[in-house]
Amino acid sequence: MLAGPMAVVAVAVGFAAQGLAPRPYGAAQGELLDALIDTPPPAQDTTTAAEQLRRLEARRATPQATATATASLGLDEPEAGPGVDLEIRVALLGAGTNPDLSASGAWQVVSRDGQLLQQGGAGSSVNLNELWLQGPEAWLQTSGTSVLVNGRPYGGRLRLIPESGGLRVVNHVGLENYIGAVVGAEMPSSWSLEALRAQAVAARSYALAHMARPANRHWHLGDTTRWQAYKGLSSSNERTRQAAASTAGMILSYQGAIVESLYAANRQISLEAHGHLGASMSQHGAQDLAMQGYRYNQILGHYYQGASLARLKAGAS
């Protein structure tokens, strides 16, 4: 990740019209995760996902009055709870306008209303010439472990949207699976697990901020360092998935807003890219702190001072 437009995003209904208050992180008014989808309204097939987002709440940590001096250096950890199953939409901007689409197992291309358009076996490619004639958009799904874009495996399913001059491919994938892949794309998976866990929380908080403020009506964010690096299953392994799972649902918040947790490779790049926006994590710095014995919440507390940890949970329906 190289840059971002601001460091905190409010998520109350109508946050875009409220303006920003001059506070640390540039926070805006609003209750944390009161609603995560604003206008324009989601397309019909994403309405269910939008409703799930609106019902989310966040449980903050309860300050520990008897915390030890070491623990006080870090952010208080919220209590564990059942996970929240969210789906994020990621535009595969590096796929090109005429990608080779396939799957690791039997696959189907279906229309928006569920009509079967094409089908094939593992390794066989979608006929894009036919696809242009079959409707305004389609979905590629598989009974195998992954869908393939130019040979690269991705979890979830693919939404295929014709655009002028080509095809836009959007990966609909579970949020935690996405975070595990982002961690591996943004940090060497051989680094300390505590640095990877800090990266997982930062990546999830950043992702939730963009689910609240989508880049496009069809997708929340892209797969380049303009947003967060994302390489699908090729950058996900046991250690990055462990980093995501052990911090599942955990985000950074500040005064009723999601921290758009910016980060960069080192302190110099972080200051140059994000210094005017507020807090930003140095990834190499996070690894250095982890090697000194810092836990992930202490690393986050070092870089996002004044923020707190919150854990997503399902709200009332």
For residue range 140-175, what is the model confidence (pLDDT) as tens digits?
A: 999 999 999 999 999 999 999 988 778 999 999 999
Ramachandran class of 92: left when φ > 0, alpha when ψ lies in -120 to 50, beta otherwise: beta
> pTM of the full predicted structure?
0.78
Q: Which of 217-226, 243-252, 253-262 has the highest mean pLDDT?
A: 243-252
Cα separation of 42 and 261, whole Å? 25
The mean pLDDT value for 215-229 works out to: 88
- Between 14 and 219, where is the model more confident? 219
Cα separation of 69 and 71, whole Å? 6
Cα separation of 214 and 242, whole Å? 27
- Residue 40, preceding bond cis, omega within 30 degrees? yes
Binned at pLDDT 50, 70 and 90, residue 267 comes out as: low
What is the rounded average pLDDT for all residues in the chain? Answer: 76
Displacement of CA 203 from its chain's centroid (Å): 6
SS3 content of the chain, % helix, strand, coil (to 5): 30, 25, 45
Cα separation of 54 and 316, whole Å? 10
Share of the chain above pLDDT 90, in %: 45
pLDDT value at residue 43: 37
pLDDT value at residue 248: 93
The mean pLDDT value for 198-225 works out to: 90
Give yes or no for residue 207 having a pLDDT over 80.
yes
Token couple for 31:
């209750």
The mean pLDDT value for 288-300 works out to: 95
pLDDT value at residue 61: 54
Across 40-54, 185-199, 258-272, least confident range: 40-54
pLDDT value at residue 315: 56
Give pLDDT tens digits for 25-83.
Answer: 333 223 334 433 222 233 344 445 444 444 444 455 554 433 333 444 688 888 877 66
pLDDT value at residue 142: 96
- H-state helical runs in 134-219: 175-186, 193-212
Give pLDDT tens digits for 302-317.
Answer: 888 888 898 887 654 4
The mean pLDDT value for 134-140 works out to: 84
Give pLDDT tens digits for 78-124.
Answer: 887 766 778 999 999 989 889 999 999 999 999 988 899 999 999 99
